[in-house]
Amino acid sequence: MAETSSAAAAAQTDAEREEALDRMLTRLALAEDARLAPLLARVLPYAITSLASATASVRKLVMEILSHINKRVKHRPEISLPMLDLWRIYTESTSSTIVRNFCIVYIEMAFERLLSEDKGSIAPDLLINISNVTEQHQGIILRLVVKAIGECNTHKVGDNVASKYQSISGSNDGLVFADFCFHTVLYQTPPQGVGCPAGLSVAQSDRVTGKQPLKGDTLTSRKLGILNVIEAMQLAPEIVYPLYLAAASDSQESVTKRGEELLKRKASAVNLEDSNLMKKLFTLFNGTASPENIAAELKVAPAHSSLRVRLMGVFCRSIAAANAFPYTLQCIFGCIYGNGTTSRLKQLGMEFTVWVFKHAANDQLKLIGPVILSGILRSLDGSSTTEADSSSRDIKIFAYQAIGLLATRMPNLFSNKTDMAIRLFTALRLEEQSLRLTIQEAATALATAYKGASVVILKDIEALLLENSQMEQSEVRFSAVRWATTLYDMKHCPSRYICMLGASDVKLDIRHGKLCIQPTASVATL
């Protein structure tokens, strides 16, 4: 019908079109509601295509007809509109912008009036060429599709519908749809219905909702339907992985359970060394960096805490993540000092720091190592030696491990001053027993950083070791002996003295320290 109306409108003169529209307006005015739907099937497509006319009188008549239709059908959802005819007009390459703009309004209205079964069948057809549609129209169409998915696909996706969705899987249309689905799964109803949900920008949130907040069962149904459709599309693991992570961290148990299931079954083969994937996950974790010069409504808020915790588990398994400067730096400082951080995130931030110091390339480490080290020291300075909870202990354990790793990979960062040596020996004296082995290991790693130190620095280290060689804590005495045997040779009298003290120590591991001095292993003679 739309093709006939469209062709007829194109062939008519403006006078003939005006006369036809006038007759249609009269018939509409006289038609009873029960007979309105068949009449609208002929009138509405013809009227909308007539908007392409440049004649003011024709456009005026069209607006009168559309105004009359709006009044008649607005509160009568049982009156159907010609959905397929309107869609054909919208997708015709010859349709003008004004025709498409009016078409999309009535497509939205017509789609809402379809039976649920018809919505589910038609929805995937609306995604064809979606990547080439204007952003505003994209949002309208995508919301219609996802609404239909929430109504029809919460429990399953039929084979015929699944094949339609699969047909766009390898195209830009599929990527646009998957991205919208990702944002919908991320969406959580803001408190009091105001504000931007975590993980989204204001623009993304409005695109998902159409500026009408989604709530309760409606939102849950859409998310479950999306998970079923995305599974049916058989997209690459790198595309679906962020979506499944978001679902597995959802506030609704049914969504969480389904997300975790799909993570295990469909995304286990994901390539965590994919730099584009890591960039997307870091953007989700960090949000938009404050200095970036972009509009406020486009700035993405960091993800919520439960999703950030899950993301940290991903980063700690990816070498690409360890080398994703500057995202790595933003992530670590966000965990340790960011607004809304938690003790669990602080712990994971320190664990990720250890991973970064272990796996970052040398050029990356030179950029981020000193900055992250300053953050670690600030964290340690802000902590108490009497903190008893396991999370605080774990944070310190990872912090000291990170210092040890950095000392091994960047000795020049430490060898020109004794600050870190003093800090670790002090920590060995003051920190609780459960931390001392970790600090001792970090101190042992740090000792090697001073092998190339200047005579002045080594002299200061000598005084530090003499002071600590007779301390009450056995870990302090052990480290003093280890440093003495690492940094000085047998001709160095102070280190020989320290080893003599160690040889008579009550602790067996310290007594064995005297055996470590070998003439062939000499480093410094003072």
> In whole angstroms, how large is the CA radius of gyration of the chain?
34
Per-residue model confidence (pLDDT) at position 271: 96
The three-state (H, E, C) secondary structure of 440-490, written as one string: HHHHHHHHHHCCCCCHHHHHHHHHHHHHHCCCCCHHHHHHHHHHHHHHCCC
pLDDT in tens, 191-241: 766 678 999 999 999 999 997 888 889 999 999 999 999 999 999 999 999
The mean pLDDT of 428-457, rounded to a whole number, is: 91
Rounded Cα gap, residues 286 and 331, in angstroms:
6
DSSP for 231-272? Answer: HHHT--HHHHHHHHHHHHT-SSHHHHHHHHHHHHHHSTT--T
8 A C-beta contact, residue 314 and residue 355: no
pLDDT in tens, 80-135: 999 999 999 999 988 899 999 999 999 999 999 999 999 999 999 999 999 999 99
Residues 40-64: b if buried by 16+ CB within 10 A, e if exposed: bbbbbbbbbbbbbbeeeebbebbee
Rounded Cα gap, residues 167 and 128, in angstroms:
9
Neighbours of 163 (CB within 10 A): 12
pLDDT in tens, 267-280: 989 999 999 999 99
Residue entry with tokens 């302090």 = 476
pLDDT in tens, 314-352: 999 999 999 999 999 999 999 998 888 899 999 999 999
pLDDT in tens, 382-401: 877 666 678 888 999 999 99
Residues 204-231: b if buried by 16+ CB within 10 A, e if exposed: bbebbbeeebbeeeebbbbbbbbbbbbb
Per-residue model confidence (pLDDT) at position 513: 52
The alpha helices in 275-389, defined as continuous H runs, are: 275-286, 305-315, 319-322, 327-337, 343-359, 362-381
8 A C-beta contact, residue 112 and residue 210: no
The separation between the first and the last C-alpha atoms of the chain, rounded to the nearest angstrom, is: 100
Domain positions in the chain:
1-113, 116-270
8 A C-beta contact, residue 372 and residue 331: no
Beta carbons within 8 Å of 258's beta carbon, 6+ residues apart = 224, 227, 247
Per-residue model confidence (pLDDT) at position 388: 60
8 A C-beta contact, residue 450 and residue 412: no
Q: At 486, list the tokens.
A: 């690492």
Task: Identify the burial level of 35 via C-beta atoms within 10 angstroms of its C-beta, where 0-12 means exposed, 13-18 middle and 19 or more buried.
Answer: exposed
Q: At 210, list the tokens.
A: 């159409």
pLDDT in tens, 461-474: 888 888 888 787 87
